[in-house]
Chain A
């Protein structure tokens, strides 16, 4: 059991990025705004550090610690998505109650889809408990991707305006969940042959999601950009151009 230099680098980077996100959440006083997401990030940071310690203890210890942490992470991940749904719809009186209802409806449908894909799942690389865990992980990612996809489609449909940091959280989560879903699907098809490369791709996507979170959480809420406004300097340019024409 050993990590490649790139894998090690990605692991260290994820720890640093998570620490930076915690700092950004505290600095911008967003912990109260998104308490579940804050808890999720703190948990991820402890998981990253904790697994680094357990990694040196042995294979069995690492296996059980990893999958326990993964289960807690999945539960917290759903809680973050629920928080996003509630916050997105809370601002509007007309659809205030809709967030929780749509989340529940979408979750039930996606659970059915996840159960169906599990029933028809190939399992080239593992047997017994590992196979079950991999299939469960895949179902979780199907549901997370689906819930985020649904949230984005709803926001297109209703024309919902996202706060910048909420959008960043959803985008980072979505990128990571989508790439991980692709990796899990490929791993179950290809078996152990591509496991190393897919694990690296997974870690890279995770770090990419963290970078998105860092960018959106550190950036202040931008002032709206208006279109169709004639800028003062535009008028000066027009004036200059007209003067030039008149002088010819």
Chain B
């Protein structure tokens, strides 16, 4: 009886996920002109500072151990918030890139493909970076690099500006400010 119940629950969950997937698949793509309504701003310079090893060394040398750990935890929490934002934005930009991928203009299609690829790369790196940051919040003294999230995010924003210049040049500046 338990096995039967488990199998029925499993199959029912599968049906629910499929139905949710159908709704998710047909959801509209955020328009470039209104991107700032859907994305979350990321201060890249601040994120770079928060995960900069030299900055950490500077604080470690000048602060008492307890104070350093407390401050470092706060800095890592802030970095985590920024990395979560980059992951969130990458999901939106992935959809924007995918939607423009079938554009009849080959230049637009190529820019869109590059944007989608960068967005996916960022998504993978951001997830890994989040795991590292959780670990470092638990052990603020540990020295583990959070990877290349900032560089990839910078590439991604440049790719977005490139795509916007091709599709809607009037909004290029506004769109770059949105992410």
Contacts and interface: CB of A to CB of B under 8 A. Distances in A.
Interface of A: 91-95, 117, 120-122, 138, 142, 145-146, 148-149, 152-153, 155-156, 158-162, 167, 170-171, 174-175, 177-179, 181-182, 184-186, 188-189, 221, 224-230
Given A92-B117, A221-B102, A161 B7 contact: no
20 contacts: A93-B117, A95-B124, A117-B6, A120-B3, A121-B3, A149-B14, A149-B17, A155-B21, A158-B123, A159-B94, A160-B94, A171-B18, A171-B21, A174-B14, A178-B18, A179-B15, A184-B7, A185-B3, A185-B11, A227-B29
Q: Is the interface of B mostly helix, strand, loop or mixed?
A: helix
B134 interface: no
A189 B99 CA distance: 47
Interface of B: 1-4, 6-8, 10-15, 17-18, 21-22, 24-25, 28-31, 33-35, 37-38, 90-91, 94-95, 98-99, 102, 116-117, 119-121, 123-124
B18 A117 contact: no
Contact of B95 (A153, A161, A228): A161
B4 A181 contact: no
Main DSSP-derived SS at the A contact region? helix
Contact of B33 (A156, A178, A182, A229): A229
Contact of A122 (B3, B14, B18): B3
Return the 4 tightest CB-CB contacts between A and B, nearest first. Answer: A228-B34, A224-B99, A161-B98, A159-B91
A145 B11 contact: yes
A164 to B, nearest CB: 8
Contact of A93 (B3, B35, B121): B121
A152 B18 contact: yes
A209 B30 CA distance: 31
